[in-house]
Chain A
């Protein structure tokens, strides 16, 4: 497929891998965090770890929107969906995210809640228009990538003068999360991870541009290389990061020039700003309460705000005490280091959100990479 195959070319990958191997200084260790679940997915799906020398290590970041959503918000969504007359529209990867007491949206649907899986937030508006007797709530989640489409959907609902459509807004902001990873101030247990640099977000950066990372890179002296989600993008970004580390630089560089500019997508930014404003505080799974880290609807759009319409007050809900999604999301632990991984927690019966979304670090490692946990597997591949 044109414009896809070019970025998955095995020969090119091997030549970049050879350069990584020759430029990485043998006596030192390189630890880079890929912020986005999309990168985590690509690294696992294409087996990128096999192309890297042993002293270049990738750790997974918190950039999976499903994973950072706290349990209390899923509880809220289930309660909303169970209300008579309410139709909850959601992206499919939220369906199996565990809520309190072993509940999830899939089970709520089976129990009679009207929950519909949609591909686009616009579909929720169309459902509301077609079914005026239902109140349609769109369960909006995601970083800056999905926020513009939620904003446009609210705009559309307003133009159509719909009174039976609202949004349960859980949109969060990327730069705040990166700062939380780099600084220790807001981490629940004060633990922090030492990384040598970041692979910066792909799709998020198409919206916000590379400018928001400049201050972060300078303040914490960590290089950030914004990269696309194709596997060649990732290996090239790793090479650029190694060069920055070797040269003692901490710049923001843009590998994803085919889609990302410094200033980002101004139309999308305006659409977001028109409808949303900052929340004072929002809870992130794994990162705790982060000030000014999430969005809510402006007062002018209150009629489309499900939280106001249904007077939702999120109650704090504890994760399974043995679940280490929090440490995994901060890059402090690898998925296989969690006691639950592969024992009681698997994609069929996820205990934590990192095992649910295909972008979650645990699900990606389980689905694509767990054979590496056994040394024997290497021998199998070599023998076959």
Chain B
């Protein structure tokens, strides 16, 4: 039925807008997928044009994770919603020690969204996936009426292979274990915040958005079964991550504020905005809990990796039936590091 001649007029990416026909499942939908997503993601699975991707899997354990991205603004210093949607889901897999294999991507597009922005996002996703050695093998696109969404929302789902014998889980921290942080905290949240027009401040801070599975592979290689768990401190920051682990493992933490790397410009921005860097989101950092015997070896491989150069031993797991995360402040006193009540920054991922 489809006449090849009808397909010759390409999408007007420079000035075109998403309209309801792009989500109606007809020719316009198909053209959008071909010219924007297939072009950007470029892999044989998508080229088959099926509603799913079928592939062989090795024996053993797999990890699976999904995440939705609603960040605003869509483009921010150091990344955009596309690269973030790739890195975020890869990192969720990597925190199980998994080698990410494939991603699926779903888009909810608002009527009127510029095609140029969509292409920019898709190209960024394609680049991020390709740099991470992962293919976006299937996906979906829906369009909703103007006002029913905010530009674009993306959901990515990933699967990965867990190395044999590795069991990383949030319930495995034991009193006496060491806590390692891979680098400076707060960069992502502050970078996003700085782009909001109402904030009225400028920084050179870039989001730390990055895929961590390469770093994780080297950590697993170096520390193996001594590694108890990994967690990436995204929404809620380092504070939320440590509190989650404390609840899961029924333990406490005692960390040392002076050992936690924070960039001076992040400190300054947080001072200005009344934020605590411990609550601010990261998208390219991880926390490792490890048997103390392997700390030195782990720190050595982390510091040799570009994403772990500032890796730091920040504290220990404690025996605490109230699951408190406590911190010795750089001032010399003690305090709790608590979850944040409510939202500190709206829509940062």
Residues of A within 8 A of B (CB): 1, 4, 8-10, 13-14, 17, 44-51, 95-96, 106, 118-119, 123, 231-232, 346-348, 358, 363, 366-372, 374, 376-377, 380-381, 383-384
Supposing A371-B324, A384-B254 touch, asked if A47 and B334 sit within 8 A by C-beta, the answer is: yes
Name the residue of chain B whose CB is nearest to the CB of A126.
B198
Instruction: Assess whether B318 is in contact with A123, with CB atoms less than 8 Å apart.
Output: no
Closest 3 CB pairs of A and B: A47-B333, A347-B341, A50-B333
Contact assessment for B271 and A1 in the assembled complex, using a CB-CB cutoff below 8 Å? yes
Residue B3 lies at the interface, judged by CB distance under 8 Å to chain A: no
A377 to B320, CA, bound (A): 8
Q: Which residues from chain B contact A44 at a C-beta distance below 8 Å?
A: 335
> Which A residues are CB-close (under 8 A) to B297?
none
- Known contacts A10-B258, A377-B320; 11 further A-B pairs (Cβ under 8 A): A46-B335, A47-B334, A50-B332, A51-B332, A119-B198, A346-B341, A347-B338, A358-B274, A369-B335, A371-B322, A376-B320
CA distance A383 to B315 in the complex (A): 13
Beta-carbon contacts of B318-342 to A below 8 Å, as 1s and 0s?
Answer: 1111101010111111111010011
- Measured CB to CB, the closest approach of chain A to B245, in angstroms, equals 16
- What residues on B are CB-neighbors of A4 within 8 Å? 267-268, 271
CB-CB contacts of B195-209 with A at 8 A, as 1s and 0s?
000110000000000
Q: Tell me whether B306 is interfacial, beta carbon within 8 Å.
A: no
Contact check, B338 vs A380: say whether CB atoms are below 8 A apart.
no
Q: Is the CB of B336 within 8 A of A369?
A: yes
Nearest Cβ on chain B to A270's Cβ, whole angstroms: 26
Q: A381 CA to B318 CA in the complex, in Å?
A: 8
Chain B residue with the shortest CB-CB distance to A234: B331
A384-B318 in contact (CB<8A)? yes
A231 x B331 contact (CB < 8 A): yes
Most buried by B among A123, A363, A368: A368
Q: Which residues of B contact A17 (CB under 8 A)?
A: 332
Given contacts A374-B322, A383-B318, contact A8 B336 (CB under 8 A): no
Complex-state Cα separation, A286 to B316, whole angstroms = 42
Q: Is the CB of B319 within 8 A of A46?
A: no
Q: Is B236 an interface residue (CB 8 A)?
A: no
Residue from A10, A48, A231, A367 in contact with B338 in the complex, judged by beta carbons closer than 8 Å: A367
B331 touches A10 (CB 8 A): yes
* Bound Cα distance from A17 to B334, whole angstroms: 15
> Across the interface, do B319 and A47 meet the contact criterion of CB distance under 8 Å?
no
Are A14 and B336 in contact, with the CB atoms below 8 A? no
- Prevailing SS type, chain B contact patch: mixed
B198 partner residues in chain A, CB cutoff 8 A: 118-119, 123
Work out how many contacts link A and B, with CB atoms closer than 8 A. Answer: 100
B264 at the interface (CB under 8 A from A): yes
Question: Which B residues touch A368, using CB under 8 A?
Answer: 335-336, 338
Is A371 touching B336 in the complex (CB atoms < 8 A)? yes
> In the complex the two chains form, what is the Cα distance from A231 to B330 in whole Å?
11
7 sampled A-B residue pairs with Cβ under 8 A: A9-B331, A46-B329, A95-B342, A231-B331, A368-B336, A380-B319, A384-B316
For B338, what are the chain A residues with a Cβ–Cβ distance below 8 Å? Answer: 347, 366-368
B interface residue numbers (CB < 8 A to A): 198-199, 252, 254, 258, 264, 267-268, 271, 273-274, 315-316, 318-322, 324, 326, 328-336, 338, 341-342
Cβ A10 vs Cβ B271 within 8 A? no
B333 close to A46 (CB less than 8 A): yes
- Return chain B residues, CB-CB under 8 Å to A347: 338, 341-342
B334 neighbours in A (Cβ, 8 Å): 47, 50, 371-372, 381
Inter-chain contacts of A377 with B (CB < 8 A): 320, 322, 324, 326
- A10, A44, A49 interface centre (most CB from chain B within 10 Å): A10
A346 CA / B209 CA spacing, docked (Å): 33
Q: Which listed residue (B320, B324, B335) contacts A45, Cβ 8 A?
A: B335
Task: Kindly state the separation between the CA atoms of A95 and B342 in the bound complex, as whole angstroms.
Answer: 10
* Contact B332–A381 (Cβ < 8 Å): no
A87 CB, nearest partner CB in chain B, Å: 15
A380 touches B264 (CB 8 A): no
Q: Which residues of A contact B273 (CB under 8 A)?
A: 119
Q: In the complex, how many angstroms separate the beta carbon of B339 from the nearest chain A beta carbon?
A: 8
CA distance A370 to B338 in the complex (A): 10
A46-B329, A47-B334 are known contacts. Are A1 and B264 too (CB-CB below 8 A)? yes
Does A47 contact B335, Cβ atoms closer than 8 Å?
yes
Q: Verify A381–B254 contact, CB threshold 8 A.
A: yes
A375 to B254, CA, bound (A): 16
Chain B, Cβ-Cβ closest to A348: B341
Assembled-state Cα–Cα distance A240/B236 (Å): 39
CB distance from A90 to the nearest CB of B (A): 14
A106–B346 CA distance with the chains assembled, in angstroms: 14
Assess the A380–B331 pair: CB atoms within 8 A: no
Return chain B residues, CB-CB under 8 Å to A366: 338
Shortest CB distance B324–A (Å) = 5
When distances are taken between beta carbons in the complex, the residues of chain A under 8 Å from B319 are: 380, 383
Bound complex: CA A317 to CA B322 (Å): 36
B193 to chain A, nearest CB (A): 11
B268 touches A1 (CB 8 A): yes
List A contacts of B268 (CB < 8 A).
Answer: 1, 4
Specify which chain B residues have a CB less than 8 angstroms from the CB of A95 in the assembled complex: 342
